[in-house]
Structure 1
Amino acid sequence: MRILLWHVHGSWTTSFVQGSHTYLLPVLPDRGEDGRGRARTWDWPGNAVEVTPGELRGTDVDLVLLQRPHEIGLAERWLGRRPGRDVPVVYLEHSTPLGGVPDSVHPAAGLPGATLVHVTHFNRLFWDAGATPTAVIEHGIIDPGPLYTGEEARAAVVINEPLRRGRVTGTDLLPHFARAAPLDVFGMGTAGLAGHLGLPGERCRSRELDQGELHRAMARRRVYVHPFRWTSLGLSLLEAMYLGMPVVALDTTETSEAVPPDAGVVSNRPEVLAEAVRAFTADPEHARAVGRRARAAAATRYGVERFLDDWDRLTKEVTR
């Protein structure tokens, strides 16, 4: 099967292109948001193929996988076919609604012939899809291996653009956690974070790393902290669990579904979370034992094989 999709979410796409299909990825000369093509910091297989808009016009496509509203128009112009009418279409929604909760109407509501797929049950509950059929296919994580050592008595945090996203990502909570343990914040747009938060550099260090380096760096920290208030289930949380890290997370959106009680501490009480960070940092053996359970939980629910099987079933249903 030939599936057209845009390279929007690198981690998610890395798992998706591990399947048995041919994945057509639009590429433009500037490799901007509508034409990134293949990933440059992830290892993708050969069946993830770059195609220009000109090449798409003469290419048979079995399924269009949309992830942003304007891709409907791009697909129609570049393919010369209407998604949902001339070619089967699935709209994948990665995120929670950004405003008007709980009355947010999804862009795919009423899109002819579309099936709307969410990555969490929470997201499906909170988006209004109207009469559009919906499904949930939970994340699938490529196993990075049990890399956890916890050798550094610090907490790892992964946030992209923490200054811009602010309260959504819990950036304002970082000083609270930094009093419990020194933080290493990884992600894009983290430069200058400590100064912005008024924290000494040693209490809050920040770096941007590629995926392979990131996993190794996370695994050297004693505990993973997930301060997100309002976002879809973060892949970094699941990756931390897969690495064998104990996790401390806000009890928001889908987090309590993903983190069993014996795999970390989940709460909406900052003082409870801070105490958990202190406890894990102070007790390496306890942290290691909880991390082993976190890894087992992630492997059971979020394995890439289950993820690909779920997508295969759905694509067969919508293309038959």
Structure 2
Amino acid sequence: MRILLWHVHGSWTTAFVQGSHDYLVPVLPDRGPDGVGRARTWDWPASVTELPPAALREQDVDLVMLQRPHEEDLVRQWLGRRPGTDLPAVYLEHNSPDAAPCTQRHVLADRSDIPLVHVTHFNELFWDNGRAPTTVIEHGIVDPGARYTGELDRAAVAVNEPGRRGRIVGADLVETFLPVAPVDVFGMGAQEFVASRVATAGLPADRLAGYSGIETQDGMHTELARRRAYLHLTRWTSLGLSLIEAMQLAMPVLALATTEAIAAVPPGAGAISTDVRQLARRLAELMAEPELARACGQAARAAALERYGLKRFLADWDVLLDGLAR
């Protein structure tokens, strides 16, 4: 099957393109949001081909995966075909509703021609999906391997643009953990966020550091795994793939008991709670007892491999895609 999809979410797409299909991704000269092309920081197989819009019209596309509302118009413009009518289509919703939980209607809510796929049961529950046919295909990731060493007595957070996203991603909670252990923040905008907090709040620079320049996902995984524990502080999200990656790295994780994290993180993997002080106390224990941290990390890895393994993820997608292509 030849599948057209946009490079929107790098970690998710990296897992999806490991399947047995051929994948077409649009590319534009500026590699902007509608034409990022092939990944440059993730490892993608040769079955992924980047093509400019002018070349897409000549391609035999079997199915299009929509991930943003305006992509339907792009398909009409670039391929001259209507998704759901003369081209099989599926709409993948990565996110939880951001405007009005429980009452926000999905853009496909009034349609039944394009199946709507959610990546978590939480998302399916909280979106108003209307009459759109829905299903859930939970995340799966490429196993990064059990790299955990925990050699650094520091905690890790991985989140993009913490300064802009603020409370949503728990940026305000990072400082809660500093009396217990130094915290390293990884991701786009991490260095700017840390510099701002150090300057405005007078935080000690040796206990809060930011890392934004790691070139590859593989390199980030190695660095994360050197920290003693992983903090998942996002209040409202679908389910951060960085959390699953940390678990498969065999890191102990301390997570807010919000959204889908409740289903993803078993208690033996570290701790999960809405009480940030409880998470801080658990972090102190992991800092004092490296072997306890290692045992929690092994439990985290086992749980993440079982629920978010790549083989199950690709098999679930093949069942759906085969049905749509018939």
Say whether the fold is shared (TM-score over 0.5).
Answer: yes
Question: After the TM superposition, which of the residue ranges 196-205 and 295-304 deviates more from structure 2?
Answer: 196-205
Residue of structure 2 in register with 1:159 after alignment: 159
Deviation at 1:201, TM superposition (A): 1.2
C-alpha distance after superposition, 1:213-239 (max 9, x if no partner): 110000000000000000111101000
Whether the aligned pair in 2 keeps the contact of 1:194 and 1:200 (CA below 8 Å) is no
- Mapping 1:189-268, distance limit 5 Å: 189-197=189-197, 198=201, 199-208=203-212, 209=214, 210-268=216-274
Match of 2:293 in 1: 287
Q: State the 1:177 CA deviation.
A: 1.4
How many residues get paired? Answer: 320
The match for 1:21 is 21
**Shift in Å, 1:112:** 4.9
Cα 1:192/1:27, change in 2 over 3 Å = closer
> What whole-Å deviation, never above 9, does each CA across 1:285-320 have from its counterpart, x for those lacking one?
000011001101111010001000000000011221
- Hey, what does 1:78 align to over in structure 2? 78
Query: Which ranges of structure 2 fall in alignment gaps of 5 or more residues?
Result: none
Distance 1:194 1:102 in 2: 34
TM-score by length of 1: 0.98
Partner amino acid for 1:207?
A: Y
Deviation at 1:111, TM superposition (A): 3.6
Mind listing any 5+ residue stretches in structure 1 that lack a counterpart?
none
Instruction: Show CA shifts across 1:13-53 (max 9, x none).
Output: 00000000000000111111100110011111011011111
- Look up the match of 2:320: 314
Q: CA separation in 1, counterparts of 2:173 and 2:288?
A: 21
- CA drift of 1:195 comes to 3.8
The one-letter code of the counterpart of 1:127 is: W
**Paired residue secondary structure (2:225):** helix
CA distance in 2, matches of 1:178, 1:108: 44
Q: What residue number does 1:174 align with? A: 174
Q: CA deviation at 1:194?
A: 2.8
CA contact (8 A) 2:112 2:133 kept: no
1:140 counterpart residue number: 140
Once residues 194 and 6 of structure 2 are traced to their aligned partners in structure 1, the CA distance between those partners, rounded to angstroms, is 34
1:103 equivalent in alignment to 2:107: no
**1:5 offset after TM fit, Å?**
0.2
SS in 1 for 2:106: coil
Q: Would you say 1:37 and 2:41 are equivalent positions? A: no
The code of the aligned residue for 2:248 comes to Y
AA aligned to 1:183 is: V
Aligned residue identity for 1:249: A
Distance 1:131 1:112, change over 3 A: closer
Counterpart of 1:131 in 2: which secondary structure?
A: coil
**1:239-268 Cα shifts (integer Å, max 9, x gaps):** 000000000010000001001121120000
Q: Which amino acid aligns with 1:256?
A: I
Secondary structure, aligned partner of 1:192: helix
Matched, 1:275 2:281: yes
Match of 2:303 in 1: 297
Identity of aligned residues (%): 59
Paired residue secondary structure (1:194): helix
The range that moved more, 246-255 or 202-211, is 202-211
Task: For residue 91 of structure 2, give the secondary structure of its aligned residue in structure 1.
Answer: strand
Structure 1 ranges of 4+ moved more than 6 A: none
Structure 2 Cα separation of the partners of residues 314 and 253 of structure 1? 25
- Alignment check: 8 A CA contact 2:151 2:228 kept: yes
Separation in 2 of the partners of 1:191 and 1:146? 27
Aligned to 1:87: 87
Q: 1 CA distance for matches of 2:166 and 2:84?
A: 37
SS of equivalent residue, structure 2 residue 301: helix
Aligned 1:7-18 pairs, distance under 5 A: 7-18=7-18
RMSD of aligned alpha carbons: 0.9
CA distance in 1, matches of 2:324, 2:288: 52
